[in-house]
Amino acid sequence: MANASSGHRVVVTGLGVVTPLGQPFDHFWRHLLAGQCGIDRITLFDAAAYDCQIAGEVRNFDPIAAFPSSKELRRTDRFAQFGVAAAQQALVDSGLDLDRVDRDQIGVFIGSGIGGLRTTEEQHKILLAKGPSRVSPFMIPMLILNMASGIFSMYYKLRGPNVATCSACATSTHAIGEAWRTLRMGDAQVMFAGGAEATITSLGIAGFCAMRAMSTRNHQPHQASRPFDAERDGFVMGEGAGVLVLEELEHARARGARIYCEIVGYGNTADANHITAPAPEGEGAVRCMRMALRSAGLAPREVSYINAHGTSTQQGDLCETQAIKTVFGDHARKLAISSTKGATGHMLGAAGAVEMAVCAKAIQTDTVPPTINYQHPDPQCDLDYVPNTARQLHVEVALDNSFGFGGHNATIAARKFRG
């Protein structure tokens, strides 16, 4: 693991999101600070027979502007449409002129936890109804999870490093961390990094319902995702994408780029414990946050804000709280901690990148978003979760936590840019 004194410095210069609270990022940010919620009844399919009938859908999404033609759009699964659109937003937000840079030095790491589940379902129905000869020749390119990363690089002729991470709900945080490492090592000058997900489908919801992992507060969709609240009863599915432009500092300076923050550390650990449950007392998360702080050369007392994984599950929220207490000791009670999943639902492989974009904006503006629907304090989750109302706060250093099925943990550390 690199430390704070080695390698190139890396800054964030562009943000792009597609979320249940809207797009582009500034629109999403305003709704987030206002405490609004993007969760409602499912409309993408008939969910009447399902235990969970609510989700954070991306509504009024028109991806055509991000694609060269409607034909190309039809050959792309919904998750990749989200990813390409978010990456294009990040490109515009960064002010990067691709005609004035070396495209061999620009890479793309856009991952997905599940990939083209919608395509898989649709083509399986065609197989059963009409036979194998009617399955689309584009089925495989549409469903494989590397396609958001691949397609965006093709459209913009970005020939640098290109990888699609897949680590369940830690996917896009890992993508950002690995992009950071790539830039620090000098293997690229600019990286587009993040994740995309679109699993609000009949099979996707059925699978998570079968695990009894999801909220069944169908009569109160706006209040169903309630991270750290004593009455939380499971997560709510979200969909969308988040992509950040990460840039080597001197490259950003040379073009006069606006800088949101500097990424200074990255942690990446495994629980090695259980396929879905977190390690007891968040042991893997403890090691992950400590690794991020160590690689950044930061003391725990220097951290101002944590955007928590905070999915609204009983065990997950408790283990993350325990992990934060272990890492930060007495300072844990001085931290501002919020989970934005109350507003967006859990966007799975896209969640970490959207939440890292939130951290970047929080650092830039000294404003942290609330944990909405926090109404009943949990005696075991007793930290400052910024309940219900956004807060003005000097944010010098922020952490973004993401933890995924399979025991995958990822943490990014970022701080105010000091020239």
* Beta carbons within 8 Å of 366's beta carbon, 6+ residues apart: 392, 393, 394, 395
Question: Which phi and psi angles does 353 have, rounded to 5°?
Answer: -70, -40
CB 197 within 8 A of CB 79: yes
Q: Which residues are catalytic?
A: 169, 309, 346
* Cα–Cα distance for residue pair 296/290, rounded to 1 Å: 10
Angle between helices 171-184 and 351-365 (to 10 degrees): 60
What type of residue sits at position 312? S
Largest CA distance in the chain: 64
Give the chain's radius of gyration (CA, Å).
Answer: 20
Token couple for 62: 């028109």
Residue tagged 């000869």 (tokens)? 133
Identify which of 7, 397, 10, 42 has the alpha carbon closest to the alpha carbon of residue 199.
42
Q: Which helix (H) or strand (E) holds 319?
A: helix 314-328
